[in-house]
Amino acid sequence: MGIPVINQDNYYSNEIDKVYMSNSQYKKSFLECEAATIAKINGEWQPPSSEALLFGQYVHAWLEGEKAFDSFKMNTPSLFTQKGQLYKQYQLADLMIESINSKR
């Protein structure tokens, strides 16, 4: 088995993290806690997610394109109420996206 090719589908995967070490993975993960980083890469532990992080990921997914944005929304049910509406804090992200889009 050769070295995997990085693409949009696997860019954030543990598989890629095992093969390639990014600058941020080294600086923010290994230097803070090597054991936690290894557990994360092996899929044994996930750091808690914050609303601010999810908000940023929402906008970032939109910037990656329609396919990535649709996939992100489909794979992130915590964005939505039981009725399927986007939570208020993420509606603000939609306003940011509209603003970015109007400047293009």
Query: Dihedral of the CA atoms 71, 74, 78, 79 (nearest 10)?
Result: 70
Model pLDDT, residue 1: 63
Bridge partners, 15 (sequence order):
none
Model pLDDT, residue 21: 80
Model pLDDT, residue 83: 95
Give the domain ranges of the chain. 8-47, 51-103
Model pLDDT, residue 43: 85
Instruction: Specify the pTM.
Output: 0.62
Give the pLDDT confidence of 7-64 residue by residue, as tens digits. Answer: 888 887 888 888 888 777 788 788 888 998 889 888 898 888 789 989 999 999 999 9
| Distance of alpha carbon 24 from alpha carbon 73, whole angstroms | 25
Mean pLDDT, to the nearest integer, of 68-74? 92
